[in-house]
Amino acid sequence: MKTVYAYVRVSTQKQGVLGSSLQEQREAIARFAANNSLTIAEWFEERETAAKGGRPKFREMLQGLEAGKVSGVVIHKIDRSARNLRDWADLGDLIDRGVEVHFAHESVDLHSRGGRLSADIQAVVAADFIRNLRQEVVKGIYGRLKQGLYPFEAPIGYRNMGKGKPKEIDPIQGPLVRQAFELYASGEYNFDQLRAEMHRRGLRGWFGCTISMNTFTGILNNPFYIGLIHIKRTRQNFVGVHQPLISKVLFDRTQAVLRGNRPLASGYKNDFRFRRMIRCGGCGTHLIGERHKGRYIYYRCHKPGCGPVCLNEQAVEDAFVGILGHLRLEPGDVQDVRDIVDDIRGIDVEASKERASSLDLQIAKCEDRLSRLTDVLIDGAIDKDAYETKKAELLRERRGLLDDRENLGREPSFSDTILKNLELAETAYLRYKNGIDAEKRDMVLEVTSNLEGRANKPAITLKSPFQEIVNWQFSKTGAPYRDDFRTRSMELLAILAGTSNKEISAFMRKIKPKIRHSPRRAKEPLT
């Protein structure tokens, strides 16, 4: 009796585990071998598609046939052996060299011209079936993408909800992924620190493993989390119907850190109070903190040619205490501002409606530009790459506008902004004076726009509106008789709101604020 190999195949692992095809193929091949006096020397079982070459078991079987270990092979059907013409050609070479190839389900004489032609035609039909199937699958995938559905496995932080349904945020992993974006966007974590921290908090990959570096990079670069679907292979972008996990603002901040636009923490031996906060007034680089005699801290510029830029930490501390002291306002001014804010709260609703209308108009314009961009592509005025690049820009712009529209009710109102700035101006001095180093660093970051070292003196510029408050305090001292309480209240209100006196005057005309008419105490000069 002749010895032969037996080859059985299904396209996927799932079919091999759950399906009955492999068992049916084995039974058919065993019957064929028994009826034709063939002895099966070895079974080769494959659970991979035959559309592509490189199947390991199939290649191993061909090598055994080439070596002459057996006289031939029995396969269930032609499409079980090959669905691509390259593998069929390799099998055809063996047939030409005298290797017996039998098909248990098809009566084909491969040693005759007619039988070989019939087998070749079936192989071509099988290859064409795969090509057509691939096109239909791609068509179905793009149909889903155009509907805003993601037809692939849900990324970490989302759950699969079934075919034809949008992904939903995982109630456990979703908030953790959002925290990962927030922590990385803060600039205080590098990748190793972030992975360790998120693993400690419970963020896991598939099967509960620690998320790899490449996967973490993919998460932080994936616009899926802001509601967009990006296909890397074709560089195409689609609007997803799934709920965004993070805002576009947070995503952009994360991208800024990834591109190196903000410093990343890498572990510091000496965590000085003003670390990486003071820049050299000459070259613009950060001054480096140094400890002398175990207790004195200095910040120096080590770049040649900058001159002796050296700041004592205590001098910087005193400068901050002094400038924050100028933020403290007189109780009468504070009360006047609070009274006016109580009166203007009524127009916050009107302003919110105007803002909503403006955003709706901008969103409509953005969608119109997307529509016209498609027309330009159809007319052939731009190529595919330029179209995809511009489309991605417009989709992200639209996502940002939608975020603004959704957050409109949660944004601080005009009066809320005034009161927030007023409260910070009132409390900044005491919070800094009584705070620990970490709290002082946070306060410096919150109110400081620029901190430079010039020779041995710090130059501090506060953020708006706090620098304007300091300037306003000095201007009052320089001309104590040129204003009255109403003028001062309107000026202070304009500063806290970050707007102009003209706009504040318009508000005054609308609401006719009831500013109290109490006598003023004489102002003490600022030092």
Per-residue pLDDT tens digits for 425-444: 888 888 888 887 778 888 88
Q: Are 167 and 244 in contact (CB under 8 A)?
A: no
Determine the Cα–Cα distance for residues 423 and 322; give it in Å rounded to an integer.
Answer: 18
pLDDT surpassing 70 at residue 18: no
> Does residue 72 sit within a domain?
yes
In 197-287 the beta strands, taken as DSSP E runs, fall at: 228-231, 236-239, 279-280
Domain closes at, from 411, 435, 450: 411
> Does 327 share its domain with 357?
no
Say if residue 517's pLDDT is above 50: no
Per the prediction, the chain carries an average pLDDT of: 80
State the distance between the two ends of the chain, measured CA to CA, in whole angstroms. 112
> What is the pLDDT, as a whole number, of residue 179?
92
Q: Is the pTM of this model over 0.75?
A: no
Q: What distance in Å separates the CA atoms of residue 2 and residue 429, rounded to the nearest whole number?
A: 97
Same domain, 328 and 437: yes
Nearest to 27 by CA among 17, 12, 40: 40
Asked if the model's pLDDT at residue 305 lies above 80, the reply is: no
CA atoms of 288 and 453, how far apart (whole Å): 11
515 has pLDDT over 50: no
> Before 525, cis peptide (omega within 30)?
no
Would the pLDDT of 261 be above 50? yes
Residues 6+ apart with CB under 8 A from 376: 382, 387
219 or 344, greater pLDDT: 219
Mean pLDDT value across residues 363-381: 86
Beta strands in 198-354 (DSSP E): 228-231, 236-239, 279-280, 288-292, 296-300, 310-312
- Domain range holding 236? 158-258
Share of the chain above pLDDT 90, in %: 9
Q: Are 191 and 264 in contact (CB under 8 A)?
A: no
Instruction: Let me know if 340 is exposed, middle or buried by CB neighbors in 10 A (0-12, 13-18, 19+).
Output: buried
Residue 273, domain member (yes or no): no
Nearest to 470 by CA among 409, 526, 388: 526
**pLDDT of 47 strictly over 90:** no
pLDDT of residue 17: 55
Shared domain check, 110 and 32 = yes
Distance CA 398, CA 391 (A): 10
Total domains in the fold of the chain: 4
Rounded to whole angstroms, the Cα distance separating 211 from 155 reads: 12
Distance CA 6, CA 502 (A): 90
Give the count of beta carbons closer than 10 Å to the beta carbon of residue 405. Answer: 16
Asked if residue 270 is part of any domain, the answer here is no
What whole-number distance in Å separates Cα of residue 412 and Cα of residue 402? 17
Give the pLDDT of residue 220: 92
Residues 454 and 397 occupy one common structural domain:
no
Same domain, 120 and 164: no
Which string of b and e fits 328-338 if b means at least 16 CB within 10 Å?
bbbebbbebbe
* pLDDT confidence tier of residue 177, bands split at 50, 70 and 90: very high
Cross-strand bridge partners of residue 45: 8
Check whether residue 47 and residue 33 sit in a common domain.
yes
168 and 228 together in one domain: yes
- 206/234 same-domain check: yes
Q: What is the pLDDT of residue 347?
A: 63
Confidence of residue 136 (pLDDT cuts 50, 70, 90): confident
CATH code of the domain in which 183 resides: 3.90.1750.20
With 60 as the cut, is the pLDDT of residue 267 above it? no
- Signed CA dihedral, 30, 34, 35, 40: sign only: positive
312 falls within a domain: yes
Most confident of 16-30, 83-97, 342-356, 487-501: 83-97
Residue 264 covered by a domain? no
Q: What is the residue type of 400?
A: G
Dist. CA 489–CA 511, nearest whole Å:
15
Spell out the residues 6+ positions from residue 43 whose beta carbon is closer than 8 angstroms to its own.
5, 6, 7, 8, 26
* Domain CATH for 79: 3.40.50.1390
Are residues 424 and 507 located together in one domain of the fold?
yes
As a whole number of angstroms, the distance between CA 40 and CA 104 comes to 13
DSSP assignments along 483-525, one per residue: --HHHHHHHHHHHHHTS-HHHHHHHHHHH------PPPPPPPP
Q: What are the beta bridge partners of residue 159?
A: 168
Is residue 265 domain-resident?
no
Amino acid at position 185, single letter: A
Instruction: Report the SS3 class of residue 17.
Output: helix
Q: Out of 101-105, 145-149, 457-461, 493-497, pick the least confident.
A: 493-497
Claim to verify: residue 189 and residue 58 sit in the same structural domain:
no
In the predicted model, is pLDDT for residue 450 greater than 80? yes
Q: How far apart are CA 352 and CA 355, in angstroms?
A: 5
Residue 268 has pLDDT above 60, yes or no: no
d(CA 52, CA 132): 14
Buried b (16+ CB within 10 A) or exposed e, 152-171: eebbbbbeeeeeeeebebbe
Residues 98 and 225 in one domain: no
What are residue 165's phi and psi, to 5 degrees? Answer: -125, 145
CB 188 within 8 A of CB 279: no
Q: Which residue, among 312, 331, 309, 181, has the nearest Cα to 244 in the 3D structure?
A: 181
DSSP helix/strand/coil, 389: helix
Q: How far apart are CA 354 and CA 359, in angstroms?
A: 9
C-alpha dihedral sign at 281, 285, 291, 297? positive
Which residues lie below 8 Å from residue 221, measured CB to CB, with a gap of 6+? 255, 258
Domain identity same for 327 and 374:
no
Average pLDDT over residues 342-346: 69
Q: Where are the alpha helices (DSSP H) in 248-312?
A: 248-258
Is 271 within a domain?
Answer: no
